[in-house]
Structure 1
Amino acid sequence: MQGSQGPLPCLASCSLTAMSSTMLESEASFTDRALAVGMEAAFVNSLVGAGINSFGRLAYICAVNPQSGDDAPLIEAVEKLLKRALAAREIPDLRRLWFEAHTFAISDLKSRVERSTLDPPRELPLAERISRLEAQKRRLPSLVFTERVEPSHGLVDKLQSMIDSGTITYLPPHKCPSRAQEICNDKPMQQVTLDSEGALKISKRHADLECETRGELKLREAFTRRALAYDQVGLMSFIAQEKWHTYLFDAVTREPPPNHRYVSIGQALNADRELWQLIAQESRGDIKIIKGTDPPLDAFIKRFQHSPQVNVCLAPLPAFSPYKGERPDGGKGPGKKGDRAGKGKGSQGKEGKGTPLKRKGETLQQDPRRAEILKLLREIPPNCVSRLPKTRQFICALFQHGKCPHQSKERCERGLHCCWHKDCFKKGVPFCECSHS
């Protein structure tokens, strides 16, 4: 971009800038392009074997640039590495590849200077995507890859941008769409943004796809796609993440202690969020990927997945009793003095001291958790309602936070069991777990 008075750049140039960094270092893209320009496979293999395996290495192989008009230093440097003289038919293809490598290098430097937070994530070249996917399939032969299992290109690009920035951000499961969803999605729109100098430029608007995570199966699939995406970019191995996901679902399905509830999906998601917050904080600036070593985040997930801050989210909560003063052991005897469960005057008929509240037909004024319900209704989140707009039926406030004793049912005496977001109302999905889509 030359200035605010100059013409707007075309989308092709923006796309070149967006992928130049990954193109510059990609060995698969270098080999694919060398064969595409007509370079013989034997010559390409000899270049790769001599260490010239990326555009970045070729661009800086000598101290001159293609515009100088003198390619003698280039030929001399390549011949020195190959330890043989170049054939006349090999020089034109080498010159062409050298010019393209230099262009990618300049584009990469420019994008690093002019890049802003509004720019979309850098896109991996297609040859690099295919190379990583094939390597992953060989590394995980027991996993069947389909378009529903494979993570979307946009998800992989997000993680690649985290490597460029050196910081990790939390990706919730509903932000991990599949390749099938990406294929069916409409083409992205164009957007006009400002660069670092205040000039206008046109770029593709990043499509922020979301996937369905309602139900344990779909949630597990979303976790698998996220694990595959992290494994593809080399930040964290698939095995290390699958151990964590198995640990989460074991906690959800484990039989709780007496008078305690099963661990909810909402608690598991809270534990997952807490774990990634710890990983992101401690790994900041320390996510360099080095060939031949373990992924950088493997050590962090092993270190924090059993942290007290994480495991407290997976602790079974006490079961709720509709009777005040009910004994923790489930007995029907009298409780503490003054509790309604104690037998005394008024226990033979109408409600009075020592008379348990009736579960059937219970109202808000009679609800033992009235104070908590009123607090939840006073602190109702934005864009949420306590009643359905058409039928004016009440919505259970405790259900929204996973605290209703009848969480698995369609409704209870406090109201319907559905998300209370005004644009959602999904049945059987609490607000704390719903993606509102």
Structure 2
Amino acid sequence: MSLVDSTAVFEARAASIGVPDDVVAAMALKGWVSHGTYAFAVATQPGADEQAFLDGVIIPLLGGADHIAAPKLRRLFFESHTLTSAELRRQVDSTEQEAPRKLPAPEISQRMEMLQARIRPLIVANFMEPSHHLINSLVQCVEDGRVRYIEWSRCTSRTQEVNNIKEDGDLKIWKTDSTGTIKATTKEPSIVASLNTELDVHNALRRRGVAYEIAQAMTFEVHEAIINYFFFELKKDPMEGFGQVTLQQVAAADRELHVRLAEATRGGFKTGPAGELPLDIHVKRILDGPELKWMLMPLPKRAAGKPTTDGPSKSSNDAESKRNKAEPNKTKQDSLKLKRLKRTPMPKKLVGCVPCNDEGQPLCFAFNLGTCASSSDCPKGLHMCCKKGCNKRHAFVACINEEVQPVAASRKRGTAAVKVDDSRPSEPVAKRKRLVTGLQPRGGRAPLLLSDFKFKIDVTSEDVDIPSHISESVHPPFQGIPIHSKLISSRLVSEVGDEGEKRTRVVSTFGVFRSPFEFLHRAMTLEHPLDTPHNVDKCNLKAILFIRDHSASEVVQFRAKQLKKYMSRAAQMSEEEFRFKETLDVDVRRVLEGKRLLLFKEMAADANVGDETLFQELTEGFRLTGEMPQSKQFPAKLKPAMISVQQLRESSVWAKKMIHSSCRRVGSDPEIAKAVFEETQQQLKGRERKGRGELWFDKLRLTLVMSLYKTLLTGGVPPSSSLRVLRLLLRVRVSKFRED
């Protein structure tokens, strides 16, 4: 609720300028309970029509124009009109960069008192009272009609807000206003709510519930149902083998709840049929649904490490005896001191290094990080590399900088290195199986328009279980990968170690999903491949453009004219059509008896059909062997050569044997074999127009066909085998021949 619509603000302002309480009550009877309603008490602007204001406001309320409270009503009317105009201008010129709209303090106090009276004996005070910044953030959501998630750390209390002190009062930041002008504004101090314990989280959520009630977005009771739902799942005893629900799961479920609320209120905030606040009905439905339950399910416990035995092993005893022989003067206290030194916490940039050398002398961390001012050993420790096994007189930073690859450098430092690959991930095996079965027909000619994954990440591991999905409690080295990422593939990779040894590692590829809003935004920018005219042939595209550029009556007239033209031509060519059909073969004439062939030929010429042999092949037939002439109806597609000349020569031996083996299986058909032989000889007549490589291939084909023809004469080739021979000859793909 804005300032102009607040009854509490209006009454407080009227009292501050001295308007009597009985006059304010009389104004309420007329419906003038806010600045917004009082500004339109009369249909005139302040000072424009005094008589209309007297007749409409002063006399009905005060009884006379000379009453002592008349100037105060005029002042209040002027202020109401000014505030209402300013509010309308703010709504028109508002931008996303503006600060949240502030709810007036009297309105906050009035709503707080109403809530306190309803929820007694629970007291809204101290840590339970939300900060005004939290309230104003939710008020802005209500005014915009959009749900925004408020992080738990921003659910601060009024006590924190009051006690907050700016560190630098002169600190300014540059921001743009609604007109685009850059101005210096004071930065608001950032305060964060304490979330150290479950009680702190519970109090923060309760403060958010009070703020929702004051902002008139959700009742306090409904928000309490959300808190009870979350903490019931948090404190519920899990089954054997499963861990306790964590606060991270509760936080994720809380975010999912607000995402579902945003989906349910796309059309804006609307009150319920019985006067419920905008979010009350949707919250009850979401809590009863399965959206949050699966996020609050207990997760399986991680396998515990193998327990160590009480007594020392044989290998440890041998190592201990050797160490004692090499260092006879070392006492038990020295060994304990050395163990304590090796457990010293390391700086973040030196994780994986050692804090001391083999003798137990500490190493200087500042020297290894390159920040030590001393040029030699200092009281902090020796100036030696803290990399395990190095023990050289240089800093750890210099040792790492010798590595060219950042991943190898990170591995030497002992930190996790994650490779991010922004290229499109390959399809999972399960998806490929669906393609084979036809459940989701997406082949190479119709790829996915939008990938399921935003990007993919490659992780190298060794001797660890690879998870199928990334959870919050994932084990090393898979930390750092976004939660809910999916395993796409994994492969073995052999690497050579620093000392020349061969190691086998597993490279796992994880796909990171897009958020629903990112996927929707990308999907809305895509175009369907069939929406573009490039896939339409020229004739149909020309017809589409003609229909687009002409009216329906013009299209009808054009079609009637064309139909009349060809009907007239059919009548004129009827005798010629009869004489032409008499020249056709008997079987062909029986099939084409009812067809107007000459009219078809003329229509094809008018339509600019480029197939010059179409009419001849229709009436006289076409050859089963040899090369077919181009129809010019489809774009030419040339397949690149796949094998070399040497490979072709080597494959001719088994190709000939394959032809012979396939020709001996069933019956014989010497007629087709003879036709193939004659066609091959006819093609070889033009060999003077071909290159040497092509001549060699023609000789190979002629040899194969002659061998086949001889076999056919003996009666051992089936009819289907002849066609199989043709297919084999057509499948042989010859690379670009070079001069022998």
Conserved? CA contact 1:173–1:219, under 8 Å: yes
Letter in 1 for 2:159: A
- The aligned counterpart of 1:30 is 10
Which runs of at least 4 in structure 1 moved beyond 6 Å after TM superposition? 366-369
- Give me the whole-angstrom Cα distance separating, in 1, the residues matched to 2:272 and 2:46: 31
Conserved? CA contact 1:195–1:201, under 8 Å: yes
1:283 aligns with 2:265: yes
- The aligned counterpart of 2:26 is 46
| Structure number, greater radius of gyration | 2
- Give me the whole-angstrom Cα distance separating, in 2, the residues matched to 1:275 and 1:58: 40
- Give me the whole-angstrom Cα distance separating, in 2, the residues matched to 1:292 and 1:378: 47
Of 119, 137, 141 in structure 2, the residue corresponding to residue 140 of structure 1 is 119
- Give me the whole-angstrom Cα distance separating, in 2, the residues matched to 1:229 and 1:320: 40
The superposition leaves residues 84-104 of structure 1 with CA deviations (integer Å, 9 ceiling, x where unpaired) of 656612211100001111110
- The aligned counterpart of 2:477 is 374
- The aligned counterpart of 2:512 is none
Of 125, 136, 147 in structure 2, the residue corresponding to residue 168 of structure 1 is 147
- The aligned counterpart of 1:271 is 253
- The aligned counterpart of 2:230 is 248
Conserved? CA contact 2:135–2:211, under 8 Å: yes
The superposition leaves residues 131-150 of structure 1 with CA deviations (integer Å, 9 ceiling, x where unpaired) of 11111111211212222110
Letter in 2 for 1:57: T
Quote the offset at 1:379 in angstroms: 7.2
Distance 1:377 1:35, change over 3 A: closer
Quote the offset at 1:186 in angstroms: 2.5
- The aligned counterpart of 1:196 is 178
- The aligned counterpart of 1:97 is 76
- Give me the whole-angstrom Cα distance separating, in 1, the residues matched to 2:139 and 2:119: 21
* Correspondence 1:223-372 to 2 at 5 A: 223-288=205-270, 293-322=275-304, 372=475
Aligned residues: 321
Quote the offset at 1:291 in angstroms: 12
- Give me the whole-angstrom Cα distance separating, in 2, the residues matched to 1:297 and 1:81: 42
Distance 1:104 1:35, change over 3 A: same
Of 102, 117, 121 in structure 1, the residue corresponding to residue 96 of structure 2 is 117
- Give me the whole-angstrom Cα distance separating, in 1, the residues matched to 2:284 and 2:153: 24
* Matched position secondary structure for 1:305: helix
The superposition leaves residues 34-63 of structure 1 with CA deviations (integer Å, 9 ceiling, x where unpaired) of 010011111111111221000011112222
Letter in 2 for 1:96: R
Distance 1:289 1:80, change over 3 A: farther
- Give me the whole-angstrom Cα distance separating, in 1, the residues matched to 2:280 and 2:181: 41
- Give me the whole-angstrom Cα distance separating, in 2, the residues matched to 1:323 and 1:101: 73
Quote the offset at 1:168 in angstroms: 0.7
- Give me the whole-angstrom Cα distance separating, in 2, the residues matched to 1:131 and 1:379: 45
Conserved? CA contact 1:120–1:204, under 8 Å: no
* Matched position secondary structure for 1:376: coil
- Give me the whole-angstrom Cα distance separating, in 2, the residues matched to 1:203 and 1:119: 12
- Give me the whole-angstrom Cα distance separating, in 2, the residues matched to 1:317 and 1:228: 32
Conserved? CA contact 1:253–1:263, under 8 Å: yes
Distance 1:190 1:127, change over 3 A: farther
The superposition leaves residues 232-268 of structure 1 with CA deviations (integer Å, 9 ceiling, x where unpaired) of 1111011111111111111111111121111111111
Of 165, 175, 192 in structure 2, the residue corresponding to residue 210 of structure 1 is 192
Letter in 2 for 1:321: A
The superposition leaves residues 163-199 of structure 1 with CA deviations (integer Å, 9 ceiling, x where unpaired) of 1111011112111000011011125965443333323
- The aligned counterpart of 1:434 is none
* Matched position secondary structure for 1:247: helix
Tell me how large the CA RMSD over aligned residues is: 3.0
Q: TM-score, normalised by structure 2?
A: 0.41
Q: TM-score, normalised by structure 1?
A: 0.67
Which has the larger displacement, 219-228 or 313-322? 313-322
* Matched position secondary structure for 2:266: coil
Letter in 1 for 2:222: A
Letter in 1 for 2:71: P
* Matched position secondary structure for 2:130: coil
The superposition leaves residues 214-242 of structure 1 with CA deviations (integer Å, 9 ceiling, x where unpaired) of 21100000010000100111110111111
* Matched position secondary structure for 1:228: helix
Which has the larger displacement, 131-140 or 50-59? 131-140
- Give me the whole-angstrom Cα distance separating, in 1, the residues matched to 2:273 and 2:59: 26
Letter in 2 for 1:97: L
- The aligned counterpart of 2:41 is 61
Conserved? CA contact 1:235–1:289, under 8 Å: no
Quote the offset at 1:110 in angstroms: 2.2
* Matched position secondary structure for 1:193: strand
- The aligned counterpart of 1:361 is none
* Matched position secondary structure for 2:191: coil
The superposition leaves residues 284-319 of structure 1 with CA deviations (integer Å, 9 ceiling, x where unpaired) of 333145898111100010010132221101111122
- Give me the whole-angstrom Cα distance separating, in 2, the residues matched to 1:26 and 1:292: 23
Structure 1 or 2: larger helix share?
A: 2
Letter in 1 for 2:204: A
Quote the offset at 1:159 in angstroms: 0.5
* Matched position secondary structure for 2:293: helix
- Give me the whole-angstrom Cα distance separating, in 2, the residues matched to 1:291 and 1:119: 33
Letter in 2 for 1:58: Y
- Give me the whole-angstrom Cα distance separating, in 2, the residues matched to 1:377 and 1:286: 37
Distance 1:86 1:241, change over 3 A: farther
The superposition leaves residues 81-126 of structure 1 with CA deviations (integer Å, 9 ceiling, x where unpaired) of 7596566122111000011111101211222233222221111112
- Give me the whole-angstrom Cα distance separating, in 2, the residues matched to 1:64 and 1:117: 34
Gaps of 5+ in 1: 1-20, 325-363, 381-437
Letter in 1 for 2:10: F
- Give me the whole-angstrom Cα distance separating, in 2, the residues matched to 1:288 and 1:83: 40
Conserved? CA contact 1:234–1:289, under 8 Å: no
* Matched position secondary structure for 1:217: helix
* Matched position secondary structure for 1:148: helix
Distance 1:291 1:76, change over 3 A: farther
Quote the offset at 1:378 in angstroms: 7.1
